[in-house]
């Protein structure tokens, strides 16, 4: 198991700058989960469990080997501003003039994935709202028609398909 754990963490690049934080956090979290060490990081591990102390130390060591220690304060300080900036990017998204719907949808998905890497949940309703607002100038009639539909019909998949269909007309 130790070789497997080492292999899980050896593929994760060291955390060097605040720009690396979202991807690094995602990779380390999933490596810790795969190594059955995540519960020690979150504090949910059973303290009466056999080898608790040594397993907690292994989880701590696994994280440390993925960090370039001199950069820790700068990275932590920038995390909150990274989250705010990512949220502002998503909620301020506008479709660029001449851009395709496909490119715009890809941009929205990338922003949502970035937020997920920062541990910020983006609901389907949030994505629908951002999408409709961001394309309103290019497709005002379609947006109005979509908003007139019932909530049950206004899924992200439905809105994406309606926009793609409208673009092809």
> Model pTM?
0.54
- Render pLDDT for 34-63 as a digit per residue (tens, 0 to 9): 777 777 666 666 666 666 666 666 666 666
- Render pLDDT for 65-90 as a digit per residue (tens, 0 to 9): 555 555 555 555 556 677 888 889 89
Residue ranges of the domains in the chain? 2-73, 96-168
Gap between the Cα atoms of 51 and 63, Å rounded? 19
């Amino acid at each position: 198991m130790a070789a497997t754990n080492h292999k899980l963490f050896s593929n994760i690049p060291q955390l060097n700058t605040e720009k690396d934080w979202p991807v690094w956090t995602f990779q380390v979290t999933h490596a810790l989960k795969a190594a059955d060490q995540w519960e020690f990081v979150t504090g949910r591990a059973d303290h009466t469990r056999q080898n608790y102390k040594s397993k907690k130390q292994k989880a701590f060591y696994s994280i440390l080997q993925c960090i370039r220690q001199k950069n820790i304060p700068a990275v932590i300080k920038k995390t909150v501003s990274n989250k705010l900036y990512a949220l502002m990017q998503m909620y301020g998204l506008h479709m660029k003039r001449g851009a395709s719907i496909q490119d715009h949808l890809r941009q929205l998905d990338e922003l949502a994935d970035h937020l997920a890497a920062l541990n910020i949940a983006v609901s389907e309703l949030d994505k629908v709202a951002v999408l409709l607002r961001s394309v309103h100038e290019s497709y005002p009639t379609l947006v109005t028609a979509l908003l007139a539909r019932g909530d049950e019909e206004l899924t992200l998949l439905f809105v994406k398909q309606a926009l793609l269909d409208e673009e092809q007309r």
